[in-house]
Amino acid sequence: MPLEIRRLHLASLQGVDGRRWPVHGFVVTHDGGDWFGFMDARFELLDGDAEVLPGLEVIATPGHTAGHQCVLVRGDGEAFDLLIGDAAYTPRVYAEPASDRLPSGQASDLPTWRDSLRRIQSLGPDRVHFCHHTDVIHR
């Protein structure tokens, strides 16, 4: 099972010792070994967009952080889901990236964040899933 992480995102999480990264309650050593100790796991750093498995794509969406990424999940048909991560905390933020009413911490680089939101909106996802909100946007 692959665990993909963008190189820029990992670098933004790097600890002061240069080797350890606190990531959502885990601590990752420089080789990822502390985090991925389960069968067939592998740790890969990505640069840019990548298809990591058939129907599963990681796309670069900088702006929340320099290395932020979203995940596209495609089924057998043309429809696909967007797992938005922290690119937009809520459906309102996703729908109105030009708004000046952003939650604290939403964008570390506002122009880049807005470009990323416009990019993922232009993909036309059928469903958008949020990390910080239970609603799902349906096209």
What are 15-61's pLDDT values in tens digits?
Answer: 555 554 444 444 444 454 455 555 566 667 778 898 888 999 999 99
Is residue 67 within 8 A of residue 25, CB to CB? The reply is: no
Which value, to the nearest 10 degrees, does the dihedral of the CA atoms of residues 56, 57, 62, 66 take? 80
Domains observed in the chain = 1-46 (no CATH), 48-139 (3.60.15.10)
Nearest to 85 by CA among 74, 103, 72: 72
User: What are 43's two structure tokens?
Assistant: 């740790």
> What confidence score (pLDDT) does residue 77 get?
86
- Look up residue 54 and give its two tokens: 């058939």
pLDDT score of 90 more than 60: yes
103-135 pLDDT, tens digit each: 999 999 999 999 999 999 999 999 999 988 899
CA dihedral for 115, 120, 123, 126, sign (positive or negative): negative
Specify which residues 23 forms β-bridges with.
26
Q: Which two tokens stand for residue 1?
A: 């099972």
pLDDT above 70 (res 6): no
Which residue carries 């967007």 as its tokens?
Answer: 82
Q: Is the pLDDT of residue 65 over 60?
A: yes
Burial class for 128, CB neighbours closer than 10 Å (0-12, 13-18, 19+): buried
Question: Measuring CA to CA, how many Å separate 96 from each of 9, 38, 92, 114, 124?
Answer: 25, 40, 6, 10, 15
In the chain, the amino acid numbered 133 is: H
Q: What is the pTM of this model?
A: 0.73
Measured distance CA(6)–CA(68) in Å, rounded: 7
